[in-house]
Amino acid sequence: MQLSVGTLVEPSNLKATSQAAFLDADGLVRHAVCVGMTGSGKTGLCVALLEELALAKVPLIIIDPKGDMANLGLGFREHSAAEFVPWVDAAAAQREGLTPQQLAERTSQHWRDALVAEGVGDRAKAWSQQVEVTIYTPGSSSGVPVDLLGSLLQCPPDLVGDEEGLADLIAGTVSSLLALVGVEADPVTDPAHLVLFKRKISVSSAICQARGVSFGNALPTK
DSSP structure string for 13-32: T--EEEEEEEEEGGGGSS--
Please state, in angstroms and rounded to a whole number, the distance separating the CA atoms of residues 216 and 68: 38
- Give residue 81's pLDDT: 92
Evaluate the CA torsion angle 53, 57, 59, 63 in order and state its sign.
positive
End-to-end CA distance of the chain: 56
Question: Cα-flanking dihedrals φ and ψ of residue 207, to 5°?
Answer: -65, -45
The DSSP bridge partners found for residue 178 are none
- Give residue 105's pLDDT: 95
- Give residue 94's pLDDT: 93
CA dihedral 114, 117, 119, 124 (to 10 degrees): 10
Residues 6+ positions from 150 with CB-CB distance below 8 Å: 203
- Give residue 221's pLDDT: 46
- Give residue 51's pLDDT: 87
- Give residue 157's pLDDT: 74
The DSSP bridge partners found for residue 27 are none
- Give residue 206's pLDDT: 55
- Give residue 107's pLDDT: 94
pLDDT in tens, the chain (222 residues): 788 888 888 989 888 888 888 888 887 778 888 899 998 888 888 888 888 888 888 889 988 888 788 878 877 888 899 999 998 999 999 999 999 999 999 999 999 999 888 777 788 888 888 888 888 887 777 888 876 665 555 667 777 777 787 778 777 777 877 777 777 777 767 766 656 555 555 555 655 555 554 434 444 444
- Give residue 110's pLDDT: 94
Please state, in angstroms and rounded to a whole number, the distance separating the CA atoms of residues 187 and 169: 12
How many residues does the structure list for the chain?
Answer: 222
- Give residue 181's pLDDT: 72
